[in-house]
Amino acid sequence: MRVDALIGGGPHCPLYEILAELVQNLLPVMEKLKIASAAETGISDLAQRMRDECRCPDGVVVSAGFIGAWSRKRRSD
């Protein structure tokens, strides 16, 4: 089993846009479950706000972890 995640930082990291797009795609469910509204997320400038927050020294952004697993099936002879 393994977990993979994207990690980045700096002003040119594409991860800010990737994460903002993910939040935008999840927004209908977030609103339906009353987690957050579109106004509360501020989706229009979310990527820029994340970029601004990571300007502090050693700031990083991490994506959600993607979990993978594999197995082998033994042959029965």
Residue 75 belongs to some domain of the structure: no
- Our count of domains for the chain comes to 1
Task: List residues bridging with 66 in a β-sheet.
Answer: 4
Over the stretch 34-51, which tens digit does the pLDDT of each residue have?
999 999 999 999 999 999
Over range 31-35, report the average pLDDT. Answer: 96
76 within a domain of the structure (yes/no): no
- Residue 74's pLDDT is what? 84
Sequential DSSP letters for 14-76 = THHHHHHHHHHHHHHHHHHTTS--HHHHTGGGHHHHHHHHTTSTT--EEPPPEEE----PPP-
HSE of 66, CA atoms in CB hemisphere, 13 A: 5
Q: Does some domain include residue 29?
A: yes
10 in a structural domain: yes
Asked if the structure places residue 18 within a domain, the reply is: yes
**Domain, as residue range, for 8:** 2-68
